[in-house]
Amino acid sequence: MPEKVYLPVFSEAATEALLRLPRRRQQRVLALAHQLSARPHIRSDYRLPDDSGRAIDYLAVDDYVFAYWIDDAVREVRIIEIEDAS
């Protein structure tokens, strides 16, 4: 059974990181975010708890590290940080 459609949702910090990138890199990060939301339950590289105890997944893709958590109730991938790992 295919996974249901999830949407990427960017936190303020992730949005600010995205807007600091050159246009071409912004487009690449957005494409990667949509790929992640297409397969949200892919195994991440590692998982750490945030201050509230929520598990935050970290996934390195190309030159970026995405920090995110999955909100299954509303089918969203909550991207809270984007780091340039190049």
For the stretch 8-60, pLDDT in tens is: 999 999 999 999 999 999 999 999 999 999 999 999 999 999 999 999 999 99
* CA dihedral over 54, 60, 61, 63, signed as positive or negative: positive
Q: Which CATH architecture has domain 7-84?
A: 2-Layer Sandwich (3.30)
pLDDT (0 to 100) of residue 3? 54
Q: What is the pTM of this model?
A: 0.90
Does the pLDDT value for residue 5 go beyond 90? no
Domain residue limits, the chain = 7-84
The answer to whether 84 touches 64, Cβ cutoff 8 Å, is yes
